[in-house]
Amino acid sequence: NAGVTQTPKFRVLKTGQSMTLLCAQDMNHEYMYWYRQDPGMGLRLIHYSVGEGTTAKGEVPDGYNVSRLKKQNFLLGLESAAPSQTSVYFCASSYRSDRVGAFFGQGTRLTVV
């Protein structure tokens, strides 16, 4: 049981390049989330999904797009990377009930130069 798996673990991009971060979960969770974590800022929600085929904006969605074509996968895309998007990105998933906590992937460290 792998839980929540993120790929890649590390990436360096040049300004203007694009990339996709993949999140996969094998726990049959309905909800999935993408957060970014920056020093002193805590975890901030980028986008989230409450089910296959649905996505919604979080606190800091600008510059990112997401897709949830399959229940187990949640993709985060950066169309034109900017240095301000240098961060650690965490994916998480949870059951539909709000009474349970979320499980996190190991994170992706992205540097945009």
Partner 1 sequence: RKEVEQDPGPFNVPEGATVAFNCTYSNSASQSFFWYRQDCRKEPKLLMSVYSSGNEDGRFTAQLNRASQYISLLIRDSKLSDSATYLCVVNMESGGSYIPTFGRGTSLIVHP
Residues of this chain that interact with partner 1 (CB under 8 A) are 31, 33, 35, 40-45, 48, 50, 56, 58, 90, 92, 94, 98-107
Which residue lies nearer to partner 1 by CB, 7 or 106? 106
The least distance separating partner 1 from the CB of residue 87, rounded to whole angstroms, comes to 13
User: In the bound complex, what is the minimum distance in angstroms from residue 63's beta carbon to partner 1?
Assistant: 20
> How many Cβ atoms sit within 10 Å of the Cβ of residue 57?
13
Q: Residue 31: name the closest of 63, 65, 67, 74 by CA.
A: 74
Looking at beta carbons only, is 14 or 99 nearer to partner 1? 99
CB-based contact 3:28 (threshold 8 Å): no
